[in-house]
Structure 1
Amino acid sequence: MKAFKHVRSHFHVPGPGPLRTEKLTGVVHLNAISYHSFTESQLDPQSSEWREKALPKLIKLTPLLKNLDLINGKLVNLHDKCTVNDEFLLQSMHTFKSIATAFLMKQALSTVSTPCLSVDKPLYMETFTLNSLKKVCDILDVSAQQRKLVRLAICPQVTQHQIWTGALEEILNQLKFEMSVNDYGCIMAQQIVVNCLKFLDDVMSYDPESTSWMRLTLKKDANLPPSAKWEDFLEMINDLMICLKNEEGFFFYVTKLETMKEGLSQIKDVLVDKNIGYKEARHQQSLVQKKLTKSLGHSSKCLFTLLLYYLYGSIRDIELDICCWFSEGDVGNKCCLCVGKILISDEEKMLRREVKKLDRALRVIKFVYEMAEMKENLELQGHVWCLGCENRSLVYRGHKFFIHGFSL
């Protein structure tokens, strides 16, 4: 299997327990998983019978979980993006991912003649969300000093006024579209979204691309309404979240709005109004960037959302199932970082979508790697595993991707 051709790590699998990983002095320990119908003796992926029993289990679960995946810990229907509140299906998905992960590790080890050398790098063998700079730096094993460099380099770029307002507008436009598609009936929530977008339209009317930048100032008029502030926008977001919090289909947007509130709370006193002139408006825009740069920390999900929008025009976090380091000891200090997804369906449309997601993950990792000024010779790869797929490889935007089927 190409994906793990150069694995030289030693994996120890003890008795049953939740899937977790620990980085220990050069050795990565992978705890075993509870697999419902498997007995303890059958749980060890290094046993001779385990893979023969695991593959039928995966095949049995596949039709049950078709078109579903884990997103932010929730089971989601990939067609309509709605949360599926079914505890049995959720547990079945965790079981599928756990068995598949251990199956892949067994397959990886079977391709290596002497898997005794260890790689002192983090190992992630369970579904997780790439949603902060801290997680990216953890993957890259970035030092504390380098993390400071990363934040100092990234913050001034992604907190620019047009990036901040653009990210908010993207969230609200997507929410508005979802409301129209799903015939969402709450008039109050719809009106709040419209008002929020109107607010942002007024804010962005001062951008250099707009002709209104030529306006110097306005005469003070007692009849004009008081100047608006970002605090007004924050209040509307709070009201919108109250309307949406119990709606199954809008879990993602509630989560993302909660994320953006971190930044909004820091700039709530900043003015945003057409009643002020161009010079004052530019000053207020500068305050937004300065306050966000100062307040958004390394682990901030708000900062990471701005980074995703800055890089891709997207506000969606990136879900991964596997993230592993492999070392080619005979090629200097070359390291290979592999990120991967385990899919239920092998539909070509879904495969293309996952390749694009993995490409975004690799590019944001590479971006942070470069900002950290790390010296290792890094290679990045993406991998997708799915029952029924034929093994093949492709290059997308300069990155190597491997599509794998499960086999004994």
Structure 2
Amino acid sequence: MRVSSVRNLIPRAKIFTAKRNAPMRFYHYSDEEVEDESFPSEWYEKAFSKLTNLSHLLKNVDLVDGKLVNVSDHSRVYDGSLEQKVSSFKSLARTFIGCPSMQEMMKKNVVQALADVQCEQPVFFSKASEREPITVDSLTKVSNFLNVSAQQRKLVRQSICVQVTKYPIWTGAIEEILNGLKSEIDFLNCRCPNKEIKMAQQIVTTCQKFLESATSYDPESTSWMRLKGVDSPASHKWEDVLEMFSDFINCLCEETKLTSEVKKLEVMKEGLYQIRDAFIDKNIGYKETRHQESLVHKKLSKTLGHSSRCVFTLLLYYLYGSVWDIEVELCGGVYAIGRGDKFRLCMGKILTSNEQNMVHSGVKQLSRALGLFKFVWETAGMKGDLEVQGHLWCIGAKNKSFIYRNNMFFLHSVSC
């Protein structure tokens, strides 16, 4: 099936693209929010047939953290045509989610699960803007979404930076990036080796050795007071890693399969620049080593700002042990409940199948996004309690609700 044939089913106004810098807004329960036009039943029937065919084709693959992945074994899939089909499938599904019959079905699903009279009006994903995707890659984006004030952002930055710039978090995030890169580069070198990939292999191996010297400490081999080691030619600084990251980026800048990884290297260069004069290895003695670690923490927490994507990467590692930006397929919104002292954040994901491993993968991704937004809400000291909900859609699913990590999730069936 050609992707173009699917796209022809979607009116131009219905092909949604991410407005990555647009601020989000709060929503209140109102019938006026339902503004999307509906289409003739014949259109939905024809489009649903295409949607079903795509679902069978894409049964085991999905976009995870912006990368095409075989959910069955968590392996990366390098197939541009298949990735386009996934994008077309999700764009078409967004149109169905906005149609009146789907809205009514979702409303019943939520009301039945919550037994909440306040949910009797259509409140979520009813507008096209609520069904747009968003890449969450900075605290600024999260704060814009939640309407966090400038004063509250200062509080968020101060609170978060103290935690996420600690030495084990910093080195752990760098290690996670390098391990992921090495795995991808080794695979590409086996599949399509070239000079740049081979050079990148050498750089990542050297970086990992540097990092090992920054994290492993043997009290039997290093004295408590070896201050002269600071002046030793064998001692390395974080500036050496900064230079290797720059070389790394130059080697991989034209490797389209590693675009997200290269961007993450660029992000971490901000932090490396701030600590470039700090020593990285352990042969300088225990006491001086602890001083250098404290220096790294102090410089990073002082210099990295609220809008820093480096801080955001460290926060993701601190919360989830992952460094990759979070892709939210339906951004949803924050809805005021009752008198306004309680709020509900709804976000969603479209699944290519209702297989158990696919549903579990989607729930985990949504849970990370929802947890991040709630963490920032609470850190900012926002007024009112924030309840979070995850919504998932796929063809052939049975409408149901369930609890995952103390949060409510809904699985909705896509139908015409």
Is TM more than 0.5 here?
yes
Alpha carbons 1:386, 1:405 under 8 Å: kept: yes
Alignment of 1:295-314 (within 5 A): 295-314=303-322
Using the alignment, how far apart are the partners of 1:260 and 1:115 within structure 2?
45
Q: Secondary structure at the match of 2:131?
A: coil
Matched with 2:97 is: 104
What's the CA shift for 1:128? Answer: 2.0
Alignment of 1:113-152 (within 5 A): 124-152=130-158
Matched with 2:6 is: none
Render the CA deviation track for 1:352-381: whole Å, top value 9, x for unaligned: 111111111122112111101112222111
Which of 41, 51, 75 aligns to 1:58? It is 51
Matched with 1:35 is: none
What's the CA shift for 1:201? Answer: 1.4
What's the CA shift for 1:247? Answer: 3.7
Q: Secondary structure at the match of 1:62?
A: helix
State the AA in 1 paired with 2:246.
Answer: N
Alignment of 1:73-112 (within 5 A): 80-86=75-81, 92-106=85-99, 107=101, 109-110=103-104
State the AA in 1 paired with 2:76.
Answer: K
Q: Secondary structure at the match of 1:404?
A: strand
More displaced 10-residue stretch of structure 1: 300-309 or 189-198: 189-198
Identity %: 48
Matched with 1:155 is: 161
Distance 1:351 1:24, change over 3 A: closer
Using the alignment, how far apart are the partners of 1:69 and 1:321 within structure 2?
12
Render the CA deviation track for 1:163-219: whole Å, top value 9, x for unaligned: 10111111212333344456545443223222111111111235xxx5369732327
State the AA in 2 paired with 1:172.
Answer: L
How many residue pairs match? The answer is 378
Using the alignment, how far apart are the partners of 1:222 and 1:137 within structure 2?
42
Structure 2 residue 209 is the aligned partner of structure 1 residue 195: no
Distance 1:114 1:200, change over 3 A: closer
More displaced 10-residue stretch of structure 1: 132-141 or 239-248: 239-248
What's the CA shift for 1:221? Answer: 7.7
State the AA in 1 paired with 2:134.
Answer: F
What's the CA shift for 1:69? Answer: 4.0
Structure 2 residue 235 is the aligned partner of structure 1 residue 227: yes
More displaced 10-residue stretch of structure 1: 366-375 or 90-99: 90-99
Using the alignment, how far apart are the partners of 1:223 and 1:153 within structure 2?
35
Using the alignment, how far apart are the partners of 1:350 and 1:117 within structure 2?
26
What's the CA shift for 1:100? Answer: 1.6
Alpha carbons 2:238, 2:277 under 8 Å: kept: yes
Matched with 1:19 is: 16
Matched with 1:10 is: none
Alignment of 1:31-46 (within 5 A): 44-45=37-38
Structure 2 residue 393 is the aligned partner of structure 1 residue 396: no
Render the CA deviation track for 1:244-296: whole Å, top value 9, x for unaligned: 33445433322222221121122212222334233322222222122222232
Alignment of 1:161-310 (within 5 A): 161-180=167-186, 184=190, 185=193, 186-206=197-217, 211=219, 215-218=223-226, 220=228, 224-310=232-318
Q: Secondary structure at the match of 2:281?
A: coil
Using the alignment, how far apart are the partners of 1:359 and 1:370 within structure 2?
16
Using the alignment, how far apart are the partners of 2:402 and 2:124 within structure 1?
29
State the AA in 1 paired with 2:204.
Answer: V
What's the CA shift for 1:158? Answer: 0.1
What's the CA shift for 1:406? Answer: 0.5
Using the alignment, how far apart are the partners of 1:116 and 1:181 within structure 2?
48
Matched with 2:114 is: none
Q: Secondary structure at the match of 2:161?
A: helix
Distance 1:334 1:267, change over 3 A: same
Using the alignment, how far apart are the partners of 1:397 and 1:223 within structure 2?
50
Which of 338, 342, 351 aligns to 1:343? It is 351
Structure 2 stretches lacking a partner, 5+ long: 1-10, 108-118
More displaced 10-residue stretch of structure 1: 144-153 or 121-130: 121-130
State the AA in 1 paired with 2:55.
Answer: T
What's the CA shift for 1:299? Answer: 2.2
Alpha carbons 2:186, 2:201 under 8 Å: kept: no
Structure 1 stretches lacking a partner, 5+ long: 1-13, 33-43
Q: Secondary structure at the match of 2:98?
A: helix
What's the CA shift for 1:55? Answer: 2.3
Q: Secondary structure at the match of 1:16?
A: helix
